[in-house]
Amino acid sequence: MARAMFEYTKTVLEKVSFNPALFCKELQKAVDRLLPFEVEELQIWLKQLILQNPELGECMPLLKS
């Protein structure tokens, strides 16, 4: 079940990646809901997404909180 939430989170983040403000909101929700090891995995995945969409890099500090 937990893995399904992680995959769902990635899907949502991909779909809102066109809008940095919305992306940051969804990323904050993900950080609040996911388990600590899933947040670490998400951070690795996000680095790849940010290479494609550099404007999303402004949201990365949300992962540190």
pLDDT in tens, the chain (65 residues): 568 999 999 999 999 999 999 999 999 999 999 999 999 999 999 999 999 999 999 988 887 75
Number of domains in the chain: 1
**7 belongs to a structural domain:** no
According to DSSP H, which parts of 1-65 are helical? 2-15, 20-33, 36-52
**35 belongs to a structural domain:** yes
**9 belongs to a structural domain:** no
The residue behind tokens 């947040």 is 39
What's residue 3's pLDDT? 85
How many other C-beta atoms can be found within 10 angstroms of the C-beta atom of residue 48? 8
**1 belongs to a structural domain:** no
Token code pair at residue 58: 């402004």
Q: What's the mean per-residue pLDDT of the chain? A: 91
**Domain residues for 30?**
16-53
What's residue 1's pLDDT? 58
**31 belongs to a structural domain:** yes
**33 belongs to a structural domain:** yes
**58 belongs to a structural domain:** no
**27 belongs to a structural domain:** yes
